[in-house]
Amino acid sequence: MKYIHLLFIAGLFFTQLTAAASVKSKNFKNDKVRILSWWGYIDPHHRNIKNIERKCKTTLSIDEFYSTTEFLNRLERDKTIDNKYDVLIYSDTAYTARATNAIRNSKLKLDRRAESYANPISSFYKKNKYSQGTGIFQISLSGFLVNKRLVSLKGNESLGEIFKITGDNVAVFMDDHMEIATLLNKWECTELGSDCSKNTQLIFPSEDKLKKLVGQSKVAISSDLADITKHPKFALAYTWSGDAIQKASTQPNLEFILHPSLSHSSMDLITLVGESKEAKCVADELSSKEFVDSVAQKSKYFSPYGPVQSDEQVFNQLQKEFFNQFSTLGRIHRVTQQESLEIDKKWQLFKILFGSKI
């Protein structure tokens, strides 16, 4: 009888363990909120993230990507796996892609953050009619980081003139096919007098035209400026303002130029795609003014809520200049997923033809 009693107790204990494991398995998807984001935006160890995890009663799992092409590929792959992403942080250039169709048609909602955006950003947001679950996360600005010891730009030069000023020194292009295609498209449509309109496909100039444009300049392709700005022949870089400002803060000979006709802005968006209350909570927190401003202060990009407090006067001046000129600045092109892939192929060829090793 004692043996039977022990078997009964053991069986009951096993049943309870199995039931508990079953419950845990059913709730497993809520244990983590999965985020897919541009590299470097979210530090999982930062106190802000720990506070969000406590407030939303969840754990964040953060995957990162390095290009829009990689993002779209990950999104396509995500459809075939069980643990889908809950929150996405990505470039506005991908918003109209085939892979993001479900995002645009989603009925999920973020808190009404857009009502608090700075006036020019709020107007942009309303004009673009984003889904209710999408907000603006950061705004970047392209422009020229110049070495004042070698070159001087006033901000009214054409791209052809800039390469002539560069001469046989080093010019760096950021490694982003859409950013550079947008820059070169401006040159193609203005200086060369090509028939371009807002509705035409983004043009990537021919090899012969590019060789003529570059001239004697040595072109390097890199989004990581690292020590390249210390090279004795470094003249300028067409890059993002955040990277440029951080470099200029450590090298007094460097200066970032917002070029009214050649600079353009681009948006990084945040979209809620997970349906759990934890995902909704996390997306609301990540899109809040407090969190978005903290990212802008660190990255030296721009918050959609307006200028952030900073001890760096150069950054404060650029913020003022940016928000004053935002309405007249150019925008990075939006393209279909197929167009993006075609431009990327041409960009890879450009890198082979012009990417110097210095």
Beta-bridge partners for 237 = 145, 172
Cα angle for residues 99, 100, 103 (degrees, 5° grid):
145
Does residue 306 carry a pLDDT above 60?
yes
Cβ partners under 8 Å of residue 143, min gap 6: 238, 239, 241, 244, 256, 257, 258, 259, 262, 263
Q: Which residues contact 221 (CB under 8 A, 6 or more apart)?
A: 172, 173, 175, 350, 351, 354, 355
For 29-80, how does the pLDDT look when each residue is reduced to its tens digit (9 = 90+)? 457 999 999 988 998 888 899 999 999 999 999 999 988 888 988 888 776 5
Contact 237, 295 (CB under 8 A): no
The secondary element (H helix, E strand) that includes residue 151 is none
Domain residue limits, the chain: 30-140+266-328, 141-264+329-354
Q: Tell me how far apart the terminal alpha carbons of the chain are, to the nearest angstrom.
A: 85
DSSP helix/strand/coil, 12: helix
Please provide residue 277's backbone torsions phi and psi, each rounded to the nearest 5 degrees. -65, -30
Average model confidence (pLDDT) across the chain = 86
- What's the pLDDT band for 358 if we cut at 50, 70, 90? low
Amino acid at 25: S
Mean pLDDT of 263-272: 95
Quick one: pLDDT band at residue 92, thresholds 50, 70, 90?
Answer: very high
pTM above 0.75, yes or no: yes
Which of 76, 82, 129 is closest to 269 using CA atoms? 129
Who wins on pLDDT, 96 or 272?
272
Name the architecture of domain 30-140+266-328.
3-Layer(aba) Sandwich (3.40)
Angle at 153 between CA 237 and CA 120, to 5 degrees: 80
Q: Judge if 30-140+266-328 and 141-264+329-354 fold alike in CATH terms.
A: yes
Task: Quote the pLDDT of residue 201.
Answer: 60
How much of the chain, in percent, has pLDDT values that exceed 90? 59
Question: Are the C-beta atoms of 308 and 293 separated by less than 8 Å?
Answer: yes
CATH of span 141-264+329-354: 3.40.190.10
Q: What is the pLDDT of residue 98?
A: 82
